[in-house]
Structure 1
Amino acid sequence: MGAEHLLLGLVHEETGPGGVTLASFGLTLADARSAVAAAVGTGAPKAPSHIPFTPRAKHVLETSLRESLQLRHAHVDSGHLLLGLLSEQEGVAADILDHVGIDRAEGRRRALAAIDAAGEIPPPPEAVPQSRSAIDGANMRARNLAAELSQARAAKDAALDAGDFATATAMRQREKVLIAERDRMATDLRTDGRT
């Protein structure tokens, strides 16, 4: 997922600060889609799976977070994302903004005004920040679980290829246990984070 996809999301979301700002420059969803398709093409629809962010999209997200923190906001919304996109000087999203004629300084001014008009949304009262060590521990366990699951799947596939159905069955059982553990972990995280 590239920065251009973030731009498409902002244009699609018409009521937030990012969408309002882009609309004020006359950028429509149809125009943005056409520009992205012309720049990167369109792919065949794929089954839903994890689509990683490109380095440029990650940079935009990091910049958006910094913008939010500088404004002393407790969240990142579409206005902050637009500020992150406006900071980019290269790439498909930057080319589209340039093609539409969005001056970076004016875009930033309008985005800040739209963010200010939207007001700061306080975090929900039940949100309890987790300690850094708890988050690091959960991340490490998730990585280990993913590695164990990958190993179990590889061992199962190898056993099937070798015709060793007893081992394949045992590895399938291990895979089921790991998937159940992963699902419990995800449920626990959602419950703890109230999401």
Structure 2
Amino acid sequence: MIGRIEGRLLEKQPPEVLIDVNGIGYEIQMPMTSFYQLPAVGENVAVYTHFVVREDAQLLFGFADKMERGLFRELIKANGVGPKLGLTILSGMSAGQFLISVQNEDVSALVSLPGIGKKTAERLVVELRDRLAKFGKQQAVDIPFDMENKAADTIVPVNDAKEEAQSALVSLGYKPVQANKLVTSVYQDGMNSENLIREALKAAI
């Protein structure tokens, strides 16, 4: 099991990153809540990871902290939830927000996420309510992210920023038409792809 990776951040293409560790590049998929916290390309970064082995692929998922990784591991144990849907859930809301939604049996908040229907949301609440109690009420708070300071250092052309944001949303389970509508609705002059994704995800909830 690969539990943690530390190295130089080579590429950021949401929701995937490439991290160089002693000459070996690790492709890691991350929920957007963790992706927002990454440093600039070229800087050192450390992420907690979860390794998934399938018959047709070996996938590595990365997280900013152990709490988010722990929640991801509980999510993929739930019936009907695979790694991709787990990633989508933790991109649409923070770990703290998800914990609160489950504890409060807030099915409507979960249904707002792509790939989550009413039956799936209700099943998640039933299956995870008791299991997630171990995270503790003191952790069930929204973790404040300094999003603006985590934005990319370079200015991305408008079309590239929009296309990158839409591509990321599609990767997270949104339909192309829906992704385009969300990105278009929140776009403002000067926004880069990370800010576009963040605002689009907020608008979708």
Structure of larger gyration radius: 1
Task: Give the structure with the larger strand fraction.
Answer: 2
Name the structure, 1 or 2, with higher relative contact order (CA <8 Å, separation 6+): 1
Task: Give the structure with the larger helix fraction.
Answer: 1
Please give the range of the TM-score, normalised by the shorter of the 2 chains. under 0.3
TM-score, normalised to structure 1, is 0.26
TM-score, normalised to structure 2, is 0.26
